A and B are shown apart, each in its own frame.
Chain A
């Protein structure tokens, strides 16, 4: 069997792979998500102010739940919109 090193690729197989997603809360050790910081929470909603799924943000389940709670609290306090357009 020819090993991978013996195969000649037409293009570099190491180029073009998508960067692995990670949970920023785990990576940077963020334990608390502040609902009074709408600028930070803006990263987790789309242009309509809807929560982005985990498959986009890469959050772990634990922190995705906390993000969701924080966004909902921010909405209640009118720091973030419930519905909108062109948020970003």
Chain B
């Protein structure tokens, strides 16, 4: 078996049907000559690099086929030459690399088609990420605080509609400190708390103190500065004087965003919730 490839340019002046008929005619002719067609590629209308027969564009076709002998060639080439609809043609024998190249190109492994295939894949991945991120984080322990907030006030705070609007509005945006208090109320009403001990440095006692002070979710903790947390701890009873909350809000930010892996990694670097001195330098 020998592999061949015939590329030809069809006159663009012809109508769409006639162009297709021309391509089909040569396809049939090759089949009649005993060739088996591997692939017919329609390269479409292209600008010519130089005018042929005073035309500046043409429709390219490429037929790849197999044949036992090369006897058909003179017949087919004669037909191409005699045909007025064909502006140019080129018949080429393909070696094994050419056959492989054409096959890979068809499968989208090489060339421009490969790039487009990759781009499409990337797009799909991004879309998957976009859809899966909120779902996965919602399944985690922390986000119910945010996720349930929206339906919760609707049920709990129906007598006071103004409050619901306020809560709904600030829930997705960064929560300013005073509004956070109202949010806290609704969250508490649903009995929804978060395991603050996930933050390195916060023990069960400290977590209790923070919840008592109205910090019930990572989002709340994230928005408090180290000094504010320190103040809360000082006010609360218990011996929290030794606590160093400098990294807590940062940790809470990771937790609030659902970036548990990043949080874990960072916590591995921390020592009891404190930045290790040698690493900071």
Contact = CB atoms under 8 A, between A and B. Distances in A.
Given A36-B7, A81-B50, A76 B98 contact: no
A67 interface: no
B62 A36 contact: yes
Contacts of B101: 31-32, 34
B43 interface: yes
A80 B52 CA distance: 13
Nearest to A34: B101
Interface string A64-79: 0000000001011111
A82 interface: yes
Contacts of A38: 49
Contact of B100 (A32, A75, A84): A32
Contacts of A36: 7, 43, 60, 62
A79 B49 contact: yes
A84 to B, nearest CB: 8
B49 A80 contact: yes
Most B Cβ at <10 Å: residue of A32, A38, A75, A80: A32
B43 A78 contact: no
Interface residues of B, number: 21
Contacts, number: 44
Interface string B89-109: 010100101101100010000
- Which secondary structure dominates chain A's binding surface? loop
Contact of A76 (B43, B60, B90, B111): B90
A78 B98 CA distance: 21
A32 B90 contact: no
B92 A78 contact: no
B133 interface: no
Contacts of A75: 49
A69 to B, nearest CB: 10
B90 A78 contact: no
A37 B111 contact: yes
A73 B100 CA distance: 19
Ordered nearest first, which 9 A-B pairs have the shortest CB separation? Answer: A31-B97, A32-B101, A78-B48, A32-B97, A81-B49, A32-B98, A78-B49, A80-B49, A81-B50
24 contacts: A31-B97, A31-B100, A32-B95, A32-B97, A32-B100, A32-B101, A34-B105, A35-B90, A35-B92, A36-B7, A36-B60, A37-B111, A73-B90, A73-B92, A75-B49, A76-B90, A77-B7, A77-B9, A77-B90, A78-B52, A78-B58, A78-B88, A80-B49, A82-B50
